[in-house]
Amino acid sequence: MSNVVVVGAQWGDEGKGKVVDYLAGNANIVARYQGGDNAGHTVVVGDEKYILHLIPSGILHPDKTCVIGNGVVLSPRILFKEIDNLRSRGVKVEDNLAISDRAHLIMPYHLLIESHDEEVRGSKKIGTTKRGIGPAYVDKVGRSGIRVADLLNNKTFDEKLEFNLQNKSRILGKTQEWIKSEKAKTIEEYSEYARRLEPFVTDTSLFLAKAIKEGKSILFESAQGTLLDVDLGTYPYGTSSNPTAGAVCSGLGIGPGAIDEVIGVVKTYITRVGEGPFPTKMSHEMDEKIRDKGKEFGATTGRPRQCGWFDSVAAKYAARVNGFTGMVLTKLDVLDGIDCLKICVEYKYNGNTLTEFPSSIDVLENCEPVYETMEGWKSDTSKVKDYDQLPENAKKYIQRISSIMETKVQLVAVGPERDSILVLDR
């Protein structure tokens, strides 16, 4: 297998965890390059359901090495909760996990800052998960962040913690007594994290460079989706990192020549959670029907996702900015039994036709989707094991999406289980 990037093509929640878990069978290494624990990848293996927030989905394959790269912002509390949970269920998490010494840490004050910011925004709130992700990236870019390497150096950690608490106290309106108390608590808590982290910490850029030179195959895993990208998504209603394929290089410290394929994961409808525009949102009745059947609730927060018809304007945009070489369609079975399916092929805005995804939030909020309709299928696709066994109308739906996006469909998922994958071209 070549070195492959797996990218979400929508607003996240496309089923990337399942796809990474499936493709990991033919990879040596699975490497996460951005994001934090505000995203969750759900993988079903037999009767077991795993929800992973930081550790790559490849961890469920004991013979694979998983990497958390420098582009990830790391909450040690969530990481060790995840590790302990996996170990308690018999999953190996030992020398098969490597964590970058350059990854930035999420600190307790980041959660306070995020809650404060959302409160200040009022009706204009972004709808974050309040996990401290955004503030951690702000500190990273502002050159005041605390990295894993800093945590392992007592003097550096003490100095950086003091600076940040003094700075954050002014924003939060806290006293010197709070700073003193918070510093003592944080040092005690994070000293234990340092002890537990150290065996996993390495120069992951160097590790991956050696692996590439040795001809090992790497699967690059993202969190969230293209439309949440801080540069290319529906800003400011997105995440604070770059889930798009271009961030693989900066988030893992490798050159672009190492990437052979970019596979987009595309749900056969579309969902989003949190605030922000959503042009193809379904009617209330259909929204509830799809949400219940597709179990469309956030893996991290449990929040209900809004459901919409397939948006090919957004999907084509994702294919272009990521350079998709192929794609995976997920949750085809959720559409079983729907008489009439809709595909948004363009937008109408102020009487004009838009065929490209707009950068303006105001424009997107006021776009009217133009739909193409297709006849649905009545049979149950969740038990299908071969693409040729799919109903003809299901095949037509898949082929139409592929045609519009000008991207070949390589895999189709018809259920949450590991083996509910139909292979078209792989």
Query: Which residues are catalytic, by number?
Result: 13, 41
Residue 387's SS3 state is helix
Residue 5's SS3 state is strand
- Phi, psi dihedrals of residue 81, rounded to the nearest 5°: -65, -40
> Identity (one letter) of the amino acid at 53?
H
Give the residue from 83, 78, 73, 81 showing the smallest Cα distance to 33: 73
Locate 399 and state its tokens.
Answer: 């082929």
**Distance linking the first and last C-alpha atoms of the chain:** 10
Biggest distance spanned by C-alpha atoms of the chain: 69
For the beta carbon of residue 383, count every other beta carbon within 10 angstroms: 11
> Identity (one letter) of the amino acid at 214?
E
Q: Find out whether the peptide bond into 236 is cis, omega within 30 degrees of 0.
A: yes
- Asked if 406 contacts 319 with a C-beta cutoff of 8 angstroms, the reply is yes
User: Where do runs of H (alpha helix) occur along 142-262?
Assistant: 148-151, 154-172, 176-197, 204-213, 247-252
**CA 376/CA 336 separation, integer angstroms:** 7
- Asked if 208 contacts 218 with a C-beta cutoff of 8 angstroms, the reply is yes
**CA 417/CA 419 separation, integer angstroms:** 5
- Asked if 76 contacts 99 with a C-beta cutoff of 8 angstroms, the reply is no
Neighbouring residues of 155: CB distance < 8 A, sequence distance ≥ 6 = none
- Phi, psi dihedrals of residue 135, rounded to the nearest 5°: -60, -30
